[in-house]
Chains A and B, each alone.
Chain A
């Protein structure tokens, strides 16, 4: 089959590789119908996530059609159209049974690579380095899904492929961020980042009852999406002296009740702190540029909630004093999509949530290296490049 392979830092190539096959009894094989770029892939491309190997198939946000099932794949059948949350669960361990699917104890084939960094391993995820399990990714014609009965969600007729693909990762990541904020009616929620995850966090916050949602970014086309597709107010941080001051004034002096950080380790920003982060990251003295995270901690009202939905590695100058002295609650995780899938599907079916507009660029798998270029450089208004293998 054809697949997009990571061949080195900033080197992606579409190659012919062997087809996946059923290995374990609970496996299924999917024909991938749609698979999309994710901001977290850029950290792999840039070399900030170690344990990539030349030839690894990348991609983790996808949907497809079942073409083969193992003997214990439950009630899945060949021909089922399904979406799969990116982190794999087993459905049996303590974490899965408590809704913490991304922390599954039984889906990481190489925990010894992750334990030295995290203490305990996460669940496995396809296409995202050997430290995260080493499963071949979704930017391919076919993919093997372990524990298919609990990870493959059958799609109702009313939900299109273009909507479903984003229920794999970007919607549940944003939804989780909003869920962490325990939003009360009348709350104001500020969201750093108007990429796919940030936009979905903004929409989710509205669905959960936020009265005002404020999106923060620097790209005019993304700010326009936040206003026009979501109904958020926006701040262009490149056009203001202080996001903190803007938010203070917009909230009558008290600050947002909750802040969602949906940017991650390659934040852009302004001022000397941003320059410091860039230099340290370039020298591999830390992996993360954390300007969005620091700003969100400063801007949040006292005793508010800071939800971190962006992906992080190692950061210094983490504003613990700000968090501690203001009594902030921090909540963060990799997204447990299985927990939210029934609710997300219901929102889509009811017409309350339509993530399909995130697909700014649709292309074939053969064009995937170009798609990543557009996505990385945010050229041509690219929000997400979606590939149909």
Chain B
């Protein structure tokens, strides 16, 4: 019975999860900062607007997201720190990477009014019109 369980796909997946967790424990929280060349209250206003926040966090498996405003650094701008809490743990530095993407999107939105995107990008992968 035990042997049968151990060789079932479910048991193998469970075992793999255990091994991976030992090697590289996953994290749910990630944090990244960037200077943004806009006043603090304007950055906060963007963050608190659900439509704008959706542009910052779009496509990310985020349970909670926090914004901290730090000091202004010379002509680099206001230090903004985004902390993400994900729905479930992901390996290694992936949470930091996602937090990095979020704070970059926030910076682009605050500084230029838009987030860079390749949406509707023409390619040979799309069905031919």
Residues of chain A whose beta carbon lies under 8 Å from any beta carbon of chain B: 1, 3, 5, 7, 13, 15-21, 23-26, 53-57, 72, 90-94, 97, 105-112, 115, 121, 124, 133-136, 140, 142, 144, 146-147
Contact = CB atoms under 8 A, between A and B. Distances in A.
B123 A21 contact: no
A1 B122 CA distance: 9
B104 A105 contact: yes
A54 B125 contact: yes
A307 B113 CA distance: 36
B100 A115 contact: yes
Contact of A15 (B97, B112, B119, B128): B128
B37 A92 contact: yes
B120 A134 contact: no
Given A16-B128, A17-B126, A111-B101, A134 B121 contact: yes
Interface string B107-126: 11001111111111111111
B121 A135 contact: yes
Contacts of B117: 23-24, 109
A92 B112 contact: yes
Contacts of B124: 3, 5, 7, 13, 15, 17, 54-57
B116 A107 contact: yes
Contact of B35 (A15, A25, A53, A94): A94
A3 B108 contact: no
Contacts of A20: 120-122
Nearest to B126: A18
25 contacts: A1-B122, A5-B124, A7-B124, A15-B128, A16-B128, A17-B126, A19-B122, A20-B122, A23-B119, A23-B120, A24-B114, A57-B123, A92-B112, A93-B107, A93-B111, A94-B76, A106-B111, A107-B116, A110-B118, A111-B101, A112-B97, A112-B98, A121-B104, A134-B118, A146-B116
A55 B121 contact: no
Contacts of A106: 107-108, 111-112, 116
A112 B129 contact: no
B129 A18 contact: yes
Contact of B125 (A53, A92, A110, A142): A53
Contacts of A136: 118, 121-123
Given A19-B122, A147-B112, 12 more contacts: A3-B124, A5-B124, A26-B114, A57-B122, A94-B35, A94-B77, A109-B117, A112-B97, A133-B116, A133-B118, A136-B121, A136-B123
Contacts of B128: 15-17
Given A90-B112, A115-B100, A56 B37 contact: no
Contact of B108 (A7, A90, A91, A140): A90
A5 B107 CA distance: 32
B37 A94 contact: yes
Nearest to B117: A109
A369 to B, nearest CB: 13
B37 A93 contact: yes
B75 interface: yes
A21 B37 CA distance: 29
A108 B107 CA distance: 12
Given A92-B37, A94-B75, A94-B77, A17 B123 contact: yes
Contacts of A142: 122
Contacts of B76: 94
A16 B129 contact: yes
Nearest to A108: B116
B123 A56 contact: yes
Contacts of A144: 121
Contacts of A146: 114, 116
Nearest to B35: A94
B39 to A, nearest CB: 14
